[in-house]
Amino acid sequence: MTTDRIEIHDLLLRCIVGINPDEREKKQDVLINLTLFTDLRRPGATDDIADAVNYKSLTKRIIEHVEASSYFLVEKLAHAIAEIAVKEFGVSRAVVSVQKPGALRFARSVGVVIERTPADFPG
């Protein structure tokens, strides 16, 4: 298991997510953090983007997906983001945090953190 990782911090996007009627009508902020585990030895040696996980392309893909999504649960949104990272960009493990700022009255944020590997996405 590799300990090399790519970290993407504080990706602030807007989407439909939630179970309450008002949450189903208008987009709200979600804050996404990703830790993507992948072997960085080859790109570190070659200095060639072809040998690396292109995190700009990955982030663009996640933005497109999230902004067009309409999930009931942040758990599902986090799972979908992890699936993109693992299946489309070949990372060996993805840790995804999705937070909904202001979702609870007395809390700054509420959310989930999930961890997924290729075994979680058969087929």
Quick check: is 100 catalytic? yes
Rounded (to 5) percent helix, strand, coil in the chain: 35, 35, 30
93 forms beta bridges with: 37
The catalytic position among 27, 56, 76, 100 is 100
What angle is formed at CA 17 by the lines to CA 54 and CA 20, rounded to 5 degrees? Answer: 175
The catalytic residue positions are 100
